[in-house]
Amino acid sequence: MCGIVGYFGERNGMPIVLQGLKRLEYRGYDSAGLVLLKENTLEIIKTKGKVSELIALANGREAKIVVGHTRWSTHGEPNYINAHPHTSMDNSIAIVHNGIIENHAELRKELQEKYNFTFRSQTDSEVIAQLIQFFYKGDFEEAFRKMLTKIEGAFGIVALHKDHKQILCARKGSPLVLGVNNGEFFIASDPSPFLEYTKEVIYLNEKQMASIEETGYKIKDFNGFNIEMEIETIPFGIESIQKQGFEHFMLKEIYEQAETIQNCFRGKIRHIENISIKKENIKRIIFVSCGTSYYASLVGKYILEKSSHIPVVVEYASEFRYRHPMLYPTDLVIAVSQSGETADTLEAIRLAKKLSCSVAGIVNVTGSSIAKECGQGIYVHAGPEIGVASTKAFTSQIIAMNLLNVYLNKDPYYRAELIEELEQLPEKVKAFFKTQDVKAIAEKYKDSKYFMFMGRDINYPVAMEGALKLKEISYIPAEGYPAGEMKHGPIALIDENTPTVFLVTKDTVYTKVISNMEEVKSRKGKIICICNEMTEEIERLSDDIILIPKVRWECTPILNVLPLQLFAYHIANANGREIDQPRNLAKAVSVE
């Protein structure tokens, strides 16, 4: 996944685009570049490395038409040559691209062998600029559209031609949003780069393009026919994407969860009919998702099966799409995705549609590819999640699972009780943050070399999520298990150097979890216990205890995960890790 920002107007667009690229580094940060259009000349500035290096290189330059890119490499290693923008052989055209051109090799081969084109980079993206040159006979937009007919795959493309005061862009599978503000225009992968200039936006839909010129903008389909698109107003402000005094975006996003879970249920909880998912004739729900969203899906399974008695299957999207799943028209396949751009999840939904299933999305990013592909679902409204490690999106996904449960449940008394509990959750989340000091406990274990996380029933997926949080930002090996699995192998790993985090709530499996804790204790394992009630056993068996407020079982994952998020954060921070942009990761895995 990569970040794109462009400006067209009367201001010097350089500081706008450079600041915008900084805000999009969560989408990828291994190289960056700019193209400036001035007096029929394209000036390219690129760097292997982060946007801060590009800012230094671009110091003092000015331009009223400028497009920038920050990269997460998919084809070709992160280096100067492979950094975007890419130019055509004759340097008349420059493009930036987010996505994958799946037929780039054959196109490159044809241009090289039949038409003597020379290529500079190892990227798939370069073929876009070369194709536009190939088709260019004086009409930039016509050449751009002809290029679009040749490429296959996922793309968000923004292009400039040295002889045309115009920005052209196109979307298929990767997001692009146009910002409009009294004769100046912005184009970006999401609205955060230009929020302080305008909140009036147009999300390009699949297979739509836009032309930006001095006379204004036009939205068209790939055949060049004009399309009237409504201007939307972004509901969040620039403050949503600043750190607001926190050291890292991840910490800010952890602490804003009382607000974000409220934003998720606001407007739906008392008007559950506002959930637009068609539910007639649905006999089974299949969640398709990855990573943290997969664990949220598992929580959804426990809630929906136990409370609404609906069969639920949870599938890794990357497995689902290749294993020829047995699907029926009475299946509702739901994509769960924070970014709405995860390639495997998007393709899993496309497979489900091809097999005549109903589909829906539980998505955070409005206007994202998965949201558009599904056409119905629940937006979790967690706001931009900048930290690569997902936190507030997870708890909002759990709220969405509970909203789906209310929406599908047939017992009005049960629904009323759950709605009342959900409305009290923000205060309980705030109470937790006020009373518990996770930092001190985390720092006590920061030098441990391996951790286990254990939970049963609805706490099992939360244990898995706690392990993922820790390993992805601290790089310390950690495994989550259903506590009942311990005796089937993992207990061999327990010794005095292995801290085990137990999630213990006074529920139907409480005594079973206590037995598991006994087994760890008898092997000198250290125990960190997250519980919602102090008992004699917990006090006797635990080395450290974190108390969370009592809530209904359907909502315990929201409270239980908070200390796990902070535990991972403080251990990683104490070890000097790069919290918001962990190594090897990007915010959305929009390529396979």
Give residues 471-500 in contact with ligand AGP (rule: CB under 6 A): 472
- Look at residue 366 and give its three-state secondary structure: coil
72-80, 142-150, 185-193, 388-396 -> range binding ligand AGP (CB under 6 A): 388-396
Among 18, 389, 528, 591, binds ligand AGP (CB under 6 A): 389
Q: Is residue 395 part of the contact set for ligand AGP (CB under 6 A)? A: no
Q: Tell me the CA end-to-end span of the chain in Å, nearest whole number.
A: 11
CB nearer to ligand AGP: pick between 389 and 399? 389
- Look at residue 97 and give its three-state secondary structure: strand
CB of 586 to ligand AGP, least distance (A): 8
Residue type, 199: K
- Look at residue 586 and give its three-state secondary structure: coil
Contact 380, 266 (CB under 8 A): no
Residue type, 196: E
Strand runs labelled E in 204-283: 208-213, 216-221, 232-233
Q: Is residue 388 part of the contact set for ligand AGP (CB under 6 A)? A: yes
d(CA 496, CA 498): 6
CB of 568 to ligand AGP, least distance (A): 10
Q: Is residue 549 part of the contact set for ligand AGP (CB under 6 A)? A: no
Q: Is residue 358 part of the contact set for ligand AGP (CB under 6 A)? A: no
CB nearer to ligand AGP: pick between 291 and 499? 291
- Look at residue 529 and give its three-state secondary structure: strand
Q: Is residue 88 part of the contact set for ligand AGP (CB under 6 A)? A: no
Q: Which residues of 30-52 are buried (b: 16+ CB within 10 A; e: fewer)?
A: bbbbbbbbeeeebeebbbbbbbe
Active-site residue flag, 555: no
Q: Is residue 297 part of the contact set for ligand AGP (CB under 6 A)? A: no
Q: Is residue 141 part of the contact set for ligand AGP (CB under 6 A)? A: no
Return the closest-CA partner of residue 166 out of 80, 268, 93: 93
Q: Is residue 409 part of the contact set for ligand AGP (CB under 6 A)? A: no
Residue with tokens 């798939």: 124
Q: Indicate the residue whose CB is closest to ligand AGP.
A: 291
- The neighbour count for residue 389, using CB atoms within 10 Å, is 30
Q: Where are the alpha helices (DSSP H) in 210-285?
A: 249-255, 257-265
d(CA 77, CA 252): 32
Q: Is residue 299 part of the contact set for ligand AGP (CB under 6 A)? A: no
Q: Is residue 290 part of the contact set for ligand AGP (CB under 6 A)? A: yes
CB nearer to ligand AGP: pick between 291 and 482? 291
Residue with tokens 């389909």: 221
Angle made by CA atoms 55, 60, 63, in degrees to the nearest 5: 90
CB nearer to ligand AGP: pick between 501 and 589? 589
82-90, 193-201, 233-241, 285-293 -> range binding ligand AGP (CB under 6 A): 285-293
Active-site residue flag, 357: no
CB nearer to ligand AGP: pick between 418 and 468? 468
Q: Which residues bind ligand AGP (CB under 6 A)?
A: 290-293, 337-339, 342, 345, 388-390, 472, 588-589
Task: Give catalytic residue positions.
Answer: 2, 587
